[in-house]
Amino acid sequence: MFTRQNRTEIQHFVVTAKQMQAIESRIFDAGMPVAALMEKVAGRITEGILSKIKSISVTSIGVLVGPGHNGGDALVVARELHFLGYSVVICCPFSKQKELTQSHFKYITSLGISINKNMESLQHCEVIIDGMFGFGLERPITDELAEGVNQINAGNKQILSIDLPSGIHTDTGEVLGTAIHATYTFCLGLWKLAFLQDSALDYLGEVELIDFDIPLADIEAILGQTPEFRRITPENAMADLPLPRPLATHKYKNGNLLIVAGSHRYTGAAILAGLGARASGVGMLSIAVPNSIKPLLSTQLPEALIIGCPETEDGAILDFPSNFSLDQFDAIACGPGLTQSATTLVQLILECNRPLILDADGLNILAQLNPILTLSQRQAATIITPHPGEFKRLFPELAEELSNHVFVTQKAAQQSQSIVVLKGAKVCIGTANTVWINPESTPALARGGSGDVLTGLLGGLLAAVVLNQTPIDAIVKTAVWWHAQAGIQAAKDKTELGVDALTLTQYLNLNPIQSRFLNKSHP
């Protein structure tokens, strides 16, 4: 049963504008009066606004009102703030409103609150509430309306947006002409896709979901049992961790991972991938590197089996040693620091029947090998982890759509029949049926080597879950979330500028993951 005690479950749902409209229609068709829902939602928005402004001195609050129900929400909030003693200034630059919104205007007028059409009327307010447009906006904001929005943005006020900053497309996060730069945004009911698109991040500010008790049956009736888009939450991220281990176990029951990485020029990439794998707790770790850098890896990772390989003249791996078999490993992670001289090696790995993570130069080499055909023909699971530049080389026909990270990740996964991890401020994980998006991250991870750490961490988890038959896509979301949480905690302790990739590896063992392991009993 979906009760108030487990409403945290609502956090993983993500909807498009069309889906949200369908869910709301079900609620209204079931008998919920629109006016009653508006009162409930606006009450919770008011609580959220009060929590945000309680620490600052506020005498006047401006309320920007639109013609639809988003404007109606804003008017109810304005009314409640008026009753709490705040001086409220209302601006509505529209001549017509929906019927319910018009009713609230009538009552607001009876309270003696003046209504202005010009946005300049808000310039002396310390705080502005943006209730102009909610979800579903399709047309650009232009002309006088755009000028007014730009004036509000230039005022450097605290701006609290209802549902979405006005001017942001609900699904793509695209700026439609211009948009409000919110300090806080209160997303209503369910998370909209825009909150998980990199293109909207500069406009959203701090975000919070205002849950107004949508029945789970109504959500599932529209989204189905397996929603197309989902947010990663701490609960679903940790649900598939291979912890705790049985008391009777040994290293080969906890995953046997091979990392193929590094070159004379990029030794650090192999080390960082190895340290990421170490943090996963993988049972057995082997790292294949050029012979010339083998001693450096042995010093940094004494527990790993370092496999020295013949190398090219420029210090890249040429081939594996004689009598070496890829079949002995549960999973392979390939790419960090290889250089593109390792083409033959990557081709050999792509042909093997082992779950594979391909990153960095592994992806650059794949881009030259008809990537969609090559990936779709693999017999084992494949995970690719491109940043946007690598993604364009792999999927050039999707390059023009890359601003819409969520949708291009989904398309790439379907075309290649692989799991696609598209890196960015909001990492997207595309599978055949679902896109998982990580909502929490930090700019501290935008440094060289952070991706190598993720590759190793993901490889270690992959090797472990292959043995216990956990769905592979489940552990990918775990690795992405774990990696981001380590970065967030490191940034808190070290500042964003102080989180190099080596420091990041040291934080992989801390906080939520460790706590879960310590608090969960053995079977």
Q: Which residues are annotated as a binding site for AMP?
A: 451
The set of residues, in sequence order, having a beta carbon less than 8 Å from that of 310 and lying 6+ positions away, is: 290, 291, 317, 318, 319, 321
Tell me how far apart the alpha carbons of residues 482 and 484 are, in angstroms, rounded to a whole number: 5
DSSP string, 88-142: EEEE---S---HHHHHHHHHHHHTT--EESSGGGGTT-SEEEEES--TT--SPP-
| Structure tokens given for 174 | 């695209």
Provide the 3-class DSSP secondary structure of residue 219. Answer: helix
Looking up tokens 């500069």, which residue turns up?
202
Q: Which residue has the tokens 């002409």?
A: 177
In this structure, is the dihedral angle defined by the CA atoms of residues 180, 182, 187 and 193, taken in order, positive or negative? positive
Q: Which residues are annotated as part of the binding site for (6S)-NADPHX?
A: 69-73, 134-140, 163, 269, 337, 387, 452
Alpha-carbon distance 192 to 199, whole Å? 14
Binding residue ranges: 69-73, 130, 134-140, 163, 166, 269, 337, 387, 451-452
Confirm if 97 and 124 have CB atoms less than 8 A apart.
no
Sheet holding 305-309, edge to edge: 229-231, 435-437, 428-430, 419-422, 382-384, 356-358, 331-334, 256-260, 284-290, 305-309
Cβ pair 327, 352 in contact under 8 A: yes
Distance between CA atoms of residues 263 and 312, nearest Å:
9
Backbone angles phi, psi at 340, to 5 degrees: -80, 5
Residue 383's DSSP bridge partners are: 357, 419
Angle, vertex CA 482, rays to CA 260 and CA 232, nearest 5: 115
Q: Give just the sign of the alpha carbon dihedral 138, 140, 145, 146.
A: positive
Angle made by CA atoms 407, 164, 216, in degrees to the nearest 5 = 70
Nearest to 462 by CA among 241, 200, 287: 241
- Known binding residues for K(+) are 70, 130, 166
DSSP per residue over 498-520, as a string?
A: G--HHHHHHHTTSTHHHHHHHHS
Task: Spell out the long-range contacts of 506-509 with Cβ–Cβ below 8 A and sequence spacing 24 or more.
Answer: 508/276, 508/279, 508/453, 508/457, 508/482, 508/483, 509/279
Residue 437, SS3 per DSSP: strand
* Pairing outcome for strands 435-437 and 428-430: antiparallel
